[in-house]
Amino acid sequence: MRSGRTAIGALTLTLAAMTIGYFVGVSFHEPQVAQAAGGKVKSPVGTAPDRYVYYPGTEALGKEEIRIIACGTGMPAARRGQAASCWVFELGNGDKFIFDLGTGSMANVQSLMIPANMLTKVFASHLHTDHVGDLAALWAGGWTGGRTTPLEIWGPSGSRKDMGTAHFVEHFLEAYNWDYMTRAVKVNPIPGGIVAHEFDYKGVNQVVYKKNGVTIRSWPAIHAGDGPVSYSLEWKGYKVVFGGDTFPNTWFTKYAKNADIVIHEAMLTAEQLRKYYNMPPSRSIMMNTDIHTSAQAFGKVMSMIKPKHAIAYHFFDEEGTRYGIYEGIRETYDGPLSMATDMMVWNLTKKGVEERMAVSTDDAWDVEGTAKGLEPDKSRKPEIIWKELVDQRIDMSEVNKTWLDDYKKKYNVK
């Protein structure tokens, strides 16, 4: 979808759709044949001059371009069709940032086939599981998949020490101590580390990250309790805002202005929460008027800040929901809008915003990065202490000898 068009929700792309025309939201793209300059057909077996889908790993990013992939746009309840909040930002300078890492989202991140060593920077808007619940998958998956450095996580403090990001990381590692101790010996301890960069959640438009020409700021968000924040990322004159979970507030309307893209939650309607999510009416009202943002309130916020492109998320996007939310937004906002679903992609350039769907494999492998993999740390003492675990091994050296000798010779393993 080109900048300024409206998408009511991206439908599943099929091979048939790709051969007769493409459907993204309710915006049809006319089928095209390969053309040369001037519109003349160059070859009946060539490639189309314009893509309506994004195939991960096939498009170089421009030096002054940002690509945003929605790897999680849904709700806390586990759902195969939509993971919880997760957004991957790729910049033309090579930087990659993950904003939130909600439950189930790492499968979508993995499908992008980005080397593990390039996915080390996570910015958490707050510590609900639908925003940080897949940290274990990134941590362990990247560790075994070729990451050579610790993860780094930026996130807010809390009203108490035990409500902040540093506490969360410390006790995450404590909870997964068996995992850590065994992999530290058999793999390498370095990628198993997590560095927490905790900042004051009360900071207003404070700089929490500044490196390589990229500035990331935070300001308080209003959601459930003290601690949540919203972020802005500025680079090359661009500004992208990620709201996290928040009720409309004056910080957001002030510091999200002049943004190219604003990502903000728009909650399921009260009736949808009652009908589909099994919430009592009183709670569904609270969800829209206290800790989250209703469709009408989302539209009002966007009308106040006037982004070049607005993205609504944090709802299950399907036939029974998207139209009601969309109609509520359109009561108060008539600007460029995307109704997000998983694997939707936006490319931001000086020409504007282009929206597409990603078409990715369900069977992605880890992709080799630029750093050489780490060898096991042989100085560490093995965690197999019980003598029976050694004594009860069956000797398989004879059956493994042929392939093992050949493999060691091929790769010069001593």
For the entire predicted model, the pTM comes to 0.89
Residue 95's domain comprises 6-31+49-358
Which pLDDT belongs to residue 18? 31
- Let me know if residue 192 belongs to a domain: yes
Number of domains present in the structure of the chain? 1
The span from the CA of 12 to the CA of 17, in Å, is 9
**Can you give the CATH number for the domain in which 319 is found?**
3.60.15.10
Is residue 392 in a domain?
no
> Is 166 part of any domain?
yes
217 domain-assigned: yes
Residue 216 inside a domain? The answer is: yes
177 in a domain, yes or no? yes
Quick check: is 369 in a domain? no
Q: How far apart are CA 37 and CA 48, in angstroms?
A: 13
pLDDT score, position 1: 38
| pLDDT tens digits, 123-163 | 999 999 999 999 999 999 999 999 999 999 999 999 999 99
Q: What is the pLDDT of residue 287?
A: 96
Tell me the pLDDT tens digit for each residue of 186-203.
999 999 999 999 999 999
Rounded to whole angstroms, how far apart are CA atoms 109 and 104? Answer: 10
Q: How confident is the model at residue 40, as a pLDDT?
A: 56
Q: Which residues of the chain fall short of a pLDDT of 70?
A: 1-41, 48-51
Asked if residue 383 is part of any domain, the answer here is no
